[in-house]
Structure 1
Amino acid sequence: MPELDQRVSGVCGETVEQQAYITRFLLDYTAVPLAGAAFLRGVLPTPDAVRVVTGAADAVAPRELTVFEIPLSDEDDEPVTAPLVLGWTRTLVSGAHPRTDAFVMGMPLAAVDTAVLEAAGPTRDDQVLRVLRTLAWPFVETPPSPALCGFLFTGQASMRLYLATERADGLIAADVRLTGGLTALLAALPSLIGEEERWVTDMSDPHCVHVVDLTTW
């Protein structure tokens, strides 16, 4: 069972916007179940697909998680929408997972053929979240900077954020703690990820070009 080791330089341009849009849309499902006992545990960005990480509510060990690789374009080469990604993911976690012998970052990676997969319809929770999102986070033409293009829970009190910045040719991954001075960290984050002396390479993670360790900041 091979570990997928092909590295990507990240995403850019319109793909960054699509990855950030899908990530924002799916965030609530870290707390609201996708289906049954399956929750969203991460969104990993690649140039032509979004990798949706699923598992139990507190799962962080790679073998407890499953990654579904969903193309960013449909059969007509049109960008897929976030609700469609959610529907496909919900179908996948509700049924038999596609057979796979590939892994990424130690997690089973299943490529999804959306042409033969029916997306599950929206639930009541989806409709509630749609109303609340629209009122709380109205659409703005200027996206946040740096753009959050993905994330992954790496421990019970830590996570990795995938951020797009003009300072790098690809995405920067920032490892952060979920405890301590989060307000100060989030305020400083745009500057910290741009400090090249903090950049290191994580050869086990093909979803970024550099990693910044902010867990002790």
Structure 2
Amino acid sequence: MNDPGGDTAEQQAYITRFLLDYTAVPLAGGTFLRGVLPARDAVRVVAGAADAVAPHELVAYEVPLSDEDEEPVTAPLVLAWTRTLASGSLPHTDATVMSMPLIPVDTTVLEPADSSHADQALRLLRTLAWPFVEAPPGPALCGFLFTGQDSMRLYLAVEEAGGLIAADVQLTGALTALLAALPSLIGEEERWVTDTSDPHCVHAVDLTTW
């Protein structure tokens, strides 16, 4: 089960925020971001076709959160490594996570891809639209995964839970009301269940019918 410390959760949330645009902008060719799974000392970047949700259609690249000098990796570097991997053939692996192929990334030998024009434009627009603030939003969104054509699993840092809560939500319906209620809903312990199929959370909450 994932039980990240405060610094780890903060870094995972930062990487997740940075990568969100690539759910709509291709990473490479026809490959898009389909999820960011928060693991211990790593993020698992999930890639696939624009509408892929089935595990056999996806691949998870496990990128460590620190480099060989034990310095935190940056979100642009995670993007560059992922783009290199998404541009090539799928490496062989016997490892899986949530039924997806899991590729451990050796960042000491992997060459990061160059920034694209879209990357530069997004960086400019993102900085102007979402300037850095000292206090990050709470609860921190440390990851997500598309689970259906109109559903997602959100990984949220909840201090009282001692780790991450996975909240399953629908993308259709009263999103404004759900977003307003989400912080209190995921804190209600009576909603917490254990999901043994997902190693990225300590509890799961089903809000798909809320």
- Tell me which interval the TM-score lies in, with the shorter structure as reference length: over 0.9
Confirm or deny that 1:195 pairs with 2:188.
Answer: yes
Tell me the distance in 2 between the aligned counterparts of 1:80 and 1:96. 24
Does the aligned pair in 1 maintain the 2:15–2:74 contact within 8 Å? yes
User: Which of residues 26, 29, 40 is equivalent to 1:36?
Assistant: 29
User: Which of residues 206, 213, 217 is equivalent to 2:199?
Assistant: 206
Structure 1 residue identity aligned to 2:50: A
Confirm or deny that 1:72 pairs with 2:62.
Answer: no
Q: Which residue of 1 is the match for residue 12 of structure 2?
A: 19
Confirm or deny that 1:215 pairs with 2:208.
Answer: yes
Q: Which residue of 2 is the match for residue 140 of structure 1?
A: 133
Tell me the distance in 1 between the aligned counterparts of 2:90 and 2:101. 10
Q: How many residues align?
A: 210
Q: What whole-Å deviation, never above 9, does each CA across 1:120-164 have from its counterpart, x for those lacking one? A: 011000000001000100000101100000000000000000000
CA apart distance, 1:97? 2.3
User: Which of residues 98, 102, 112 is equivalent to 1:109?
Assistant: 102
CA RMSD of aligned residues (A): 0.6
Does the aligned pair in 1 maintain the 2:145–2:153 contact within 8 Å? yes
Tell me the distance in 1 between the aligned counterparts of 2:137 and 2:117. 29
Identity %: 78
Q: Which residue of 2 is the match for residue 56 of structure 1?
A: 49
Report SS of the residue matched to 1:167.
Answer: helix
Q: After TM superposition, where is structure 1 displaced by more than 2 Å over at least 4 residues in a row? A: none
- Structure 2: state its 5+ residue gaps: none
Q: What whole-Å deviation, never above 9, does each CA across 1:62-97 have from its counterpart, x for those lacking one? A: 000000001101000000000000000000010122
CA apart distance, 1:98? 2.3
TM-score computed with the length of structure 2 as normaliser? 0.99
Report SS of the residue matched to 1:116.
Answer: coil
Report SS of the residue matched to 1:179.
Answer: coil
- Structure 1: state its 5+ residue gaps: 1-7
Does the aligned pair in 2 maintain the 1:68–1:110 contact within 8 Å? yes
